[in-house]
A = this chain, B = another copy of it.
Amino acid sequence: MTVSKTAEKSSEKPADAAKGRKDTGEPQAEALQLGELSEQLGYVLKRAQLKVFENFLRCMASLQLTPAQFSVLLLVEKNPGRNQTEIASTLGILRPNFVAMLDNLESRDLCARIRSTNDRRSHILVLTDKGKAVLARAKKLVATKHEARLNDLLGPANRESLIEMLSKIANEF
């Protein structure tokens, strides 16, 4: 049981040992200067992404869904009857790596592979009833506990603006 304990301690937040501590009077070494790093797109982007994923996992702890798994369920629900290759490639997942992922979801009875009658090579993907139910609960958790945090932090207008800019980067950079 070392893993679960590890997840809570998390990896010591960067610049935390240096920045955000109350001065207790000890002769602590001065904090490091981030310098130009705090203006680097990649740096701040990666940092933000880690924080968001971390928060996502906490919010979904009761359902045991990772961001990747959630995205698969969302996509399968929106596009029922597609095969593994289509779902995987749309998410940027390579087919070999998608196999274990589906094995997991299927073993938990969240989705199912069905041999296509048209093309007996391919597996059609469908959400099970349990999968639909879990996804519905997941959506609510994400909306109320996760995405809501963004509104609290940035406000609705900025939130929309942020998503839009990130989409633009993801598609046109």
Residues of A at the B interface (CB closer than 8 Å) are 11-15, 17-18, 29, 32-53, 55-56, 67, 70-71, 74-75, 77-79, 82, 86-87, 89-92, 94, 139, 142, 146-147, 149-150, 153-154, 158, 161-163, 165-170, 172-173
Q: How far in angstroms is the closest Cβ of chain B from A7?
A: 15
* Shortest Cβ gap from A30 to chain B (Å): 9
Measured in the bound complex, the distance between the Cα atoms of B7 and A65 in whole Å is 30
Please give me the 4 A-B residue pairs with the lowest Cβ-Cβ distance, nearest first: A14-B92, A47-B170, A35-B78, A48-B169
Check A41 against B82 for contact (C-beta < 8 Å): no
Given contacts A41-B163, A45-B166, A51-B170, 18 further A-B contacts (CB under 8 A): A12-B89, A15-B90, A17-B89, A32-B86, A34-B75, A34-B90, A36-B78, A41-B146, A42-B52, A42-B53, A42-B67, A43-B67, A44-B170, A45-B49, A47-B170, A50-B170, A150-B169, A161-B161
Q: A37-B74, A38-B167, A165-B158 are in contact. Are A90 and B45 (CB under 8 A)?
A: no
Q: How many copies does the complex hold?
A: 2
